[in-house]
Amino acid sequence: MAVQKRIESLLSEISKGLYEKEHLLALGVLCAIAGESYFLLGLPGTAKSEVSRRLKMIFKDATSFEYLMSRFSTPDEIFGPVSIKKLKDNDTYERQVEGYLPSADVVFLDEIWKAGPAIQNSLLTVLNEKIFTNGNTKISLPMKLLVAASNEIPEEGSGLEAIWDRFILRVISESVKDENNFYKMLRGEQNEPINISKNLLITEKVFSQWQNEISKVTLPDDIMLYITQLRKLFSQNKENNIYVSDRRWVKISKLLRTSAFLNDRKSVDWSDLVLLRHCLWNKVQEIPLITTAILSAKVYKETKEFESIVEQLNTIKQRRIWVDPLSKGRKNTEAERVKSFLSKTEDDISVLEGKILTGLNQFRKGDNIFVSQEDINLIDAYMSDFNAKMEKIEDTIYEQKKRFP
């Protein structure tokens, strides 16, 4: 069975009875296979913990660990109690980790930002290296996915920035919006039992094989150049100060390659880059800016040419130039230059329009199971805005050409 078909079948099963959470589950599966960490932002009661439980189901014989953090939580409750016997007999400070985070395949930590400094310090190496130091021993964790949730993001200067930076996918979990889905949820409709076929479950062997295949997925040169352009846009935007660490870029590249592999491709394509809108923001208010930057970076050169033409047209509109057949003076010569410019601009703008729309359409091509309808709608809205600008420019050219018959 093709990998994409297998993932689609798994998602179909684990989505049963959960309304409007298909995309959250899809991104969670992507994160799990990539071996990265997943953050869900949302108010209480928006199925964040249930999403985590469903994600565990895709793995054969997987174990899980869940915990609701509070400011009184202790490391013993997360990583296991200290073994009194080993402390007494061998003078060794070791934890009994079985049944706690270090022994779990899938971990869910609710209200993660309420964790104290002792827990935070251990979580840093757990999230980044998947290693837990137990006494004098470093344990390589079986953890495939850590899902964290909260109804807030850490404040600047809170000391939580290092942990926040390690969550690669960041997604907002919202309440059910569609009234029909809401009614179905209230009535308990479609609460079918989840029955995942054994041949769909991801075993340790399959997981290991997939990691090997993912490492072979390539990042084409045009994708690398695009990422360079995107980084330049962020560095130039001093006002909003969007920062993405090198560590996150490395992990994002693994996520993109995983997306390509799970969609039966051997290289990353433009549809995978739509996922960047869930990876690059640090504050909720940055999400629209990030989305615009992701799209505009694809057609940056063409957009700059377009803006230059717009600026020149605006200059022509504001200047009092006319054609006087009886005059051979400077203004008449200038008018001839304007006529020539308008004629050339009409052709240039048509070529630019084609390039920009073709470039943006590349984000929509293919059947990427991790790109949602909301993602597509945002691309369409951006293209629609561009089309509206094009219409205004075409109207301006038409009006100016009437001034210079």
Same domain, 49 and 176: yes
State which residues form the domain around 393: 299-403
The pLDDT value given to residue 375: 94
What is the pLDDT at residue 326?
47
pLDDT of residue 190: 64
Residues 202, 304 within the same domain: no
As a whole-number percent, the residues of the chain with pLDDT over 70 amount to 93
CA–CA separation, 259 vs 4, rounded Å? 10
Residue 205 shares a structural domain with residue 350: no
Tokens describing residue 139: 């344990």
Each residue of 130-152: pLDDT tens digit? 999 888 889 999 999 999 999 99
Does residue 109 lie in a domain region?
yes
User: Looking at the predicted structure, is the pLDDT value of residue 192 above 80?
Assistant: no
Q: Write down which residue in 179, 214, 249 finishes a domain.
A: 214
318 and 204 share a domain? no
In a domain, 284, yes or no: no
- Please provide residue 357's backbone torsions phi and psi, each rounded to the nearest 5 degrees: -65, -35
Q: CB neighbours (10 Å) of residue 25?
A: 20
Of 167, 194, 214, which residue constitutes the final position of a domain? Answer: 214
The answer to whether residue 332 sits within a structural domain is: yes
pLDDT surpassing 80 at residue 337: no
Residue 321 in this model has a pLDDT that exceeds 60:
no
Does some domain include residue 163?
yes
Same domain, 304 and 192: no
Contact 23, 118 (CB under 8 A): no
Domain boundary among 167, 198, 214: 214
Kindly state the average pLDDT of the residues 331-358: 78
Q: Are 198 and 345 members of one domain? A: no
Q: Work out the mean pLDDT of the chain and round it to a whole number.
A: 89
Beta bridge partners of 167: 37
In a domain, 228, yes or no: no
In a domain, 372, yes or no: yes
CATH number at residue 85: 3.40.50.300
pLDDT in tens, 303-316: 888 888 888 877 77
Residue 283 has pLDDT above 60, yes or no: yes
Terminal CA-to-CA distance of the chain, rounded, Å?
66
pLDDT above 90 for 168: yes
Which string of b and e fits 234-258 if b means at least 16 CB within 10 Å?
beeeeeeebebeeebeebbbbbbbb
262 within a domain of the structure (yes/no): no
Question: Mean pLDDT over residues 8-32, rounded?
Answer: 95
How far is residue 237 from each of residues 193, 227, 232, 250, 282, measured CA to CA in Å? 50, 16, 9, 22, 15
Same domain for 305 and 210: no
Q: Are residues 39 and 183 in the same domain?
A: yes
The two three-digit tokens of residue 273, written as one number:
């880059």
Instruction: Let me know whether 196 and 307 are in one domain.
Output: no
pLDDT band at 103; cut points 50, 70, 90: very high
Structural domain contains residue 126: yes
Cβ neighbours around 78 below 10 Å, total: 22
Specify the pLDDT at position 320.
Answer: 56
CB 167 within 8 A of CB 34: no
Across 25-34, 61-70, 320-329, 333-342, least confident range: 320-329
Q: Domain tally for the chain?
A: 2
**Are 29 and 138 members of one domain?**
yes
Residue 250, pLDDT above cutoff 90: yes
* Helix (H), strand (E), coil (C) string for the chain: CCHHHHHHHHHHHHCCCCCCCHHHHHHHHHHHHHCCEEEEECCCCCCHHHHHHHHHCCECCCCEEEEECCCCCCHHHHHCCECHHHHHHCCCCCECCCCCHHHCCEEEEECHHHCCHHHHHHHHHHHHHCEEEECCEEEECCCCEEEEEECCCCCCCCCCHHHHHCEEEEEECCCCCCHHHHHHHHHCCCCCCCCCCCCCCECHHHHHHHHHHHCCCECCHHHHHHHHHHHHHHHHCCCCCCCCCHHHHHHHHHHHHHHHHHCCCCECCHHHHHHHHHCCCCCHHHHHHHHHHHHHHHCHHHHHHHHHHHHHHHHHHHCCCCCCCCCCCHHHHHHHHHHHHHHHHHHHHHHHHHHHHHHHHCCCCCCCCCCCHHHHHHHHHHHHHHHHHHHHHHHHHHHHHHHCC
Q: Are residues 312 and 190 in the same domain?
A: no
Query: Could you give phi then psi for residue 22, rounded to 5 degrees?
Result: -60, -40
**Per-residue pLDDT, 309:** 81
pLDDT of residue 319: 65
The arithmetic mean of pLDDT across residues 7-19, rounded, is 93
Domain check: are 190 and 322 in the same one? no
The first and second tokens of residue 276, run together, are 């960047």
pTM comes to 0.89
